[in-house]
Amino acid sequence: MKVSYFPGCTLNTTGKGYDNAVRASAAAVGLDLVELPEWNCCGATYPLIVDNMLELAAPTHILVSAHEQALDEGHEAPLLTTACTTCYNVLRRTNHFIRNHPEERERVNAFIEKEYAGEVEVKDILHVLRDDIGFELIHEKVQSPLKDLKVAAYYGCMVLRPPAEVAYDDPDNPRSLDDLMAALGAVPVDHPHKNECCGAYLAVKAPDVTREMAFTILKSARSSGAEAVVTNCPLCQFNLDRRQREMTQFHAGFAPIPVYYFSQLMGLALGLDAGAYGWERHYVDARPQLRALGLWNG
């Protein structure tokens, strides 16, 4: 299955390891991610301010690119996916806005000198894996099941809110990442804070706030019996992982817990060479845990 792929800035630079994992594991299950020939930064959360032109134009430009690619390369349908949840949130909501606001649509189209009316469907990669590929198929392709690793799935905000525009799962009790983990041979552990915010950009301005927010989530995961946390958002991974550096200072007795990006685990379970999946960027090194489970092949 061919799908237009938008890597986004993060997965193109500091998160290159994740991008490797995404592409490889997708290919292994028959999902052909075709990178857009031309793309720009989606603008992160700024397009949500809809009264300014550039912030709308940037993501629309990406959508147009996806549309053109689908037509040129004969994709079944114009479908754009990304593995960065913020990019997903931005692209999907901009698409929704363009579809429903004819006057603004005209303005934006005039600015970017293209005709776009929302023809593309924007889907998060986890959504594509769940509905277009199917977890059963992925399960069949698993070579090294994850040895019942007790893993707490963490979704963050971007794929759940606002529900009417972006959610492809129950915003109060999502299950897709949990189910994917189960298909890969891990044991998903339910915990109450799987959809709480990690603090997002406060990582820059107020890291002590993100530390506390991360602590709430990780403590809850631990007390629910998790040995690891898995997420589908690179920024969440960063906040939950990096802030563990100061956590023991403020919370005595805190035991560090590895935080995986889901494609890393997917690649491992599918038996792929996971060496270039960005392990060195983790603060809490996950490799010892993987070695102990006999899952580390790097």
Q: Which of these segments, 79-87, 95-103, 115-123, 190-198, binds another protein (CB under 8 A)?
A: 190-198
Q: How many other CB atoms are there within 10 angstroms of residue 86's CB atom?
A: 25
Check residue 208 for interaction with another protein (CB under 8 A).
no
Residue count, binding to another protein (CB under 8 A): 10
Closest CA to 199 of 221, 179, 183, 216: 216
Nearer to another protein (CB atom), residue 100 or residue 223: 223
For residue 11, count CB atoms less than 10 angstroms from its CB and return exposed for 0-12, middle for 13-18, buried for 19 or more: buried
Nearer to another protein (CB atom), residue 57 or residue 159: 159
Phi/psi of residue 121, nearest 5 degrees:
-100, 125
Cα–Cα distance for residue pair 91/166, rounded to 1 Å:
10
Check residue 254 for interaction with another protein (CB under 8 A).
no
Q: Which of these segments, 46-54, 64-72, 171-179, 268-276, binds another protein (CB under 8 A)?
A: 171-179
User: Would strands 79-82 and 2-6 be described as parallel, antiparallel, or unpaired?
Assistant: parallel
Closest CA to 129 of 92, 74, 179: 179
Q: Which of these segments, 76-84, 89-97, 132-140, 188-196, binds another protein (CB under 8 A)?
A: 188-196
Residue of 118, 134, 171, 185 interacting with another protein (CB under 8 A): 171
Cα–Cα distance for residue pair 254/269, rounded to 1 Å:
29
Fill in the DSSP letter of residue 158.
T
Residue of 193, 251, 281, 287 interacting with another protein (CB under 8 A): 193
Nearer to another protein (CB atom), residue 60 or residue 176: 176
Check residue 175 for interaction with another protein (CB under 8 A).
no
- Positions in 55-114 near another protein (CB under 8 A): none
Residue of 224, 281, 287, 289 interacting with another protein (CB under 8 A): 224
Closest CA to 64 of 106, 118, 104: 118
Q: In what order do the strands lie in the sheet with 32-35?
A: 32-35, 2-6, 79-82, 121-124
Q: What is the dihedral of CA 201, 204, 206, 208, to 10 degrees?
A: 100
Cα–Cα distance for residue pair 28/49, rounded to 1 Å:
38
Q: Which of these segments, 37-45, 132-140, 189-197, 289-297, binds another protein (CB under 8 A)?
A: 189-197
Fill in the DSSP letter of residue 155.
-
What burial letters (b/e) apply to 53-74, b meaning 16+ CB within 10 Å? eebbbbbbbbbbbbbbbbeeee
Residue of 192, 271, 275, 288 interacting with another protein (CB under 8 A): 192
How near is the Cβ of 193 to another protein at its closest, in Å?
8
Check residue 172 for interaction with another protein (CB under 8 A).
yes
Residue of 170, 208, 246, 285 interacting with another protein (CB under 8 A): 170
Check residue 223 for interaction with another protein (CB under 8 A).
yes
End-to-end Cα separation, the chain, in angstroms: 29
Q: Which residues pair with 259 in a beta bridge?
A: 229
Q: Which of these segments, 112-120, 126-134, 167-175, 261-269, binds another protein (CB under 8 A)?
A: 167-175
Nearer to another protein (CB atom), residue 75 or residue 191: 191
Check residue 191 for interaction with another protein (CB under 8 A).
yes
Residue of 14, 173, 248, 297 interacting with another protein (CB under 8 A): 173
* Footprint of another protein (CB under 8 A): 170-173, 191-193, 220, 223-224
